[in-house]
Amino acid sequence: MAANQLSSGDVIADRRADYAKMMAEGGDFTAAAELMEQALELTPAWAAGWFRLGEFAEKAGAREKAAAAYRKVAELDADGMFGAPLKLALLGVDAVPDQPPGRYVEQLFDDYAHRFDKALTERLQYSVPQRLAALVRTTGRRFSSAVDLGCGTGLFGVEVRDIADHLEGYDLSRNMLREAGEKQVYDHLDQADLTATPEASGLFADGFALNRADLVSAADVLMYLGDLAPFFRIASALAAERAVLAFSVEEGSESVPYALQPSLRYAHGKTYVETLLKEHGFALQASEHLTIRMDGGKPVPGILFLALRID
């Protein structure tokens, strides 16, 4: 990601980093890591360089060197843009964080926004917006106020615009919101943080009321969260009586509530999700297993959920 985009500010270090990248592209990750170490001797405060060293060392099988590099990234990258805690968790040297760093998720989708639709629909066989909208349509309802959480570029909004009188979209990434705005299907778009408390999330500012929505959706966003309790608190605060809640998760093992995947996304157990639904006043109406997308040529299993606010 950004590790390949940010300069060290030193011409010689950048040249060695470029050589390292060439070695990595040729499959010699050990040599690539050695060249990155030389570059970092010149620029020891270069967070992106340490991240790149971590990736090369990891691919070379040098786990201790990779872990040390990612720890250096975490030390230098106070905002968490590179997601070093996730890398350390996957290496098994730190616990899996309950949530990824917000700056990491924001940067990820800011970088991805302009090619998001094409990549998902043409290369990854992505169909969550259509499938989730079809599940919502089984209710036979028209919605006076719908809130699309983690709306991204608006792919789900396009699918439900005709059955929503008022449609709001929220995302952490401003670039994603810009892309969604170009589709001209939302009545309101704004930035929001689904890991925050409802009061701090950005969803209830400027006179936007509690319990205003009779449809709350989250299409393909919860895999970028670990602990889902904050999301369900927000959904409960948004949902009116008898509101529909529709969302997707990547399907995980039932042995743990959630697990971090090599993709740096989270997979969630079905029982864990169902338990949170009950705890936050929702009754499960339907669920559907499906392939969410392809990843590295392999199908990613997921689950769609449809629930009803009952208290």
Pair 189, 229 in one domain: yes
| pLDDT at 211 (0 to 100) | 94
Asked whether residue 76 is domain-assigned, the answer is yes
| pLDDT at 117 (0 to 100) | 60
Pair 33, 153 in one domain: no
Pair 84, 11 in one domain: yes
| pLDDT at 7 (0 to 100) | 81
Q: Of 63, 95, 127, which residue sits at a domain end?
A: 95
Asked whether residue 100 is domain-assigned, the answer is no
Give average pLDDT by consecutive 10-residue segment, the chain, 311 residues.
63 94 95 96 94 96 96 94 95 94 87 69 78 97 98 95 98 94 96 94 88 96 96 97 97 95 95 98 97 87 97 80
| pLDDT at 307 (0 to 100) | 98
Q: Are strands 298-309 and 239-250 parallel, antiparallel or unpaired?
A: antiparallel
Q: Cα dihedral sign for 279, 290, 224, 137?
A: negative
Pair 182, 70 in one domain: no
Pair 298, 214 in one domain: yes
Pair 43, 158 in one domain: no
Task: Give me 258's structure tokens.
Answer: 């959630």
Distance CA 14, CA 12 (A): 5
Asked whether residue 212 is domain-assigned, the answer is yes
Asked whether residue 101 is domain-assigned, the answer is no
Asked whether residue 119 is domain-assigned, the answer is yes
Q: Are strands 239-250 and 258-260 parallel, antiparallel or unpaired?
A: unpaired
Pair 64, 178 in one domain: no
Pair 281, 187 in one domain: yes
pTM score over 0.85: yes
Distance CA 62, CA 66 (A): 6
Distance CA 112, CA 119 (A): 9
Tell me the CATH number at 46. Answer: 1.25.40.10
| pLDDT at 1 (0 to 100) | 41
Number of compact structural domains in the chain: 2
Tell me the CATH number at 186. Answer: 3.40.50.150
Range of the domain at 66: 2-95
Distance CA 108, CA 175 (A): 10
Pair 112, 222 in one domain: yes
Distance CA 49, CA 53 (A): 6
Asked whether residue 9 is domain-assigned, the answer is yes
Pair 145, 283 in one domain: yes
Cβ pair 267, 252 in contact under 8 A: yes
| pLDDT at 123 (0 to 100) | 65
Task: Give me 67's structure tokens.
Answer: 């872990």
Pair 89, 222 in one domain: no
Asked whether residue 289 is domain-assigned, the answer is yes
Q: Of 75, 95, 115, which residue sits at a domain end?
A: 95
Asked whether residue 102 is domain-assigned, the answer is no
Read off the amino acid at residue 45.
A
Q: Of 43, 65, 95, which residue sits at a domain end?
A: 95
Pair 247, 140 in one domain: yes
| pLDDT at 4 (0 to 100) | 43
